[in-house]
Amino acid sequence: MLINVPETVVADALRGMAAVHPELLVDPERRVVVRRDAPVAGKVGLVSGGGSGHEPLHAGFVGPGMLDAACPGEVFTSPVPDQMVRAAAAVDSGQGVLFVVKNYTGDVLNFNMAAELAEDEGIQVASVLVNDDVAVTDSLYTAGRRGTGATLFVEKIAGAATEAGAPLERVEAIARRVNEGSRSFGVALAACTTPAKGGPTFDLPAGELELGVGIHGEPGRERRAMMTSGEIADVAVQAVLDDLRPAGPVLVLVNGAGGTPLLELYGFAAEVHRVLRERGVAVARTLVGNYVTSLDMAGASVTLCQTDDELLRLYDAPVATPALRWGR
């Protein structure tokens, strides 16, 4: 692995972000990343966070048009409430702060505690839970569905709403609508390796794949012999459509798990579009790349988000972050 020692891998990465992105305020010791111009007068603050190892989620999405701050935890480990309170205080302009929380037990508990602590300091806080994964109802890390690729859509669209000056209640409602209209399904072709362990985090024999895998390598629905890209797209998209049943155009995220090259992801995107076309689902926009990853896991996920004129306008609005940038 391209690291110094496992114990400093997160701090080292944050030092790198600080060196490369002067538009961000990065605190490697206290583990908070904030847009440099925060707090922005008259603007609702948008804060998220979670375990490291899913980059560019979440720190890579800090900047105008998306998050105001992010709190990275240790690898696959929730950040602590102090980080979240520090982030909320850094971005609060008096209009309140919205926490975007992926549905993992540690994240939920710590963000809830942070919200209470922030309220004690006079900061108005609302929270939105992202729980878009249709693969399983409960997992090793969650009660209820896991939060995965829809996090990007929630952060992008809610971020645009905050930039437009929407009040906290409106931003919260928009974020909830995005989550409620989003579903995801992932597949692993090879396990990921954590710096601390130095080996695969789960056993996936050569020639097999895991359908419905979680972003920490949690088990999915089943294991099968290796399938073609088209066969995987048939399974993944159908699993999403069985649950979502969109009434109009959708946003599509074809997301790499970290170890799958763009050559393969674009080929997979072609198959995803084929399945959607065969099912009569119109595509409004498609984003392809490694955005919600699992270290070096080989695999991909598909996220569909039902959209409308308002959500599409907010999705298309300018954004300027290290990992997502258009319209500026």
Q: Is 216 a catalytic residue?
A: yes
Q: 327 in helix, strand or coil? A: coil
Nearest to 33, CA basis, from 91, 78, 74, 115: 91
Distance CA 316, CA 40 (A): 21
Q: The tokens 């701050």 sit on which residue?
A: 69
Is the separation of the CB atoms in 213 and 230 below 8 Å?
A: no
Q: What is the rounded CA–CA span in Å between residue 261 and residue 229?
A: 13
CA 268 to chain CA centroid, nearest Å: 20
Helix (H) or strand (E) holding 169: helix 168-180
The 10 Å Cβ neighbour count of residue 16 is 12
Catalytic hit among 21, 58, 216, 273: 216
> Which DSSP string do the residues of 68-128 spell out, in sequence order?
SEEEEEEETSPPPHHHHHHHHHHH--SS-EEEEEES-HHHHHHHHHHHHHHHHTT--EEEE
For the question of residue 54 being annotated catalytic, the response is yes
Catalytically annotated residues: 54, 216
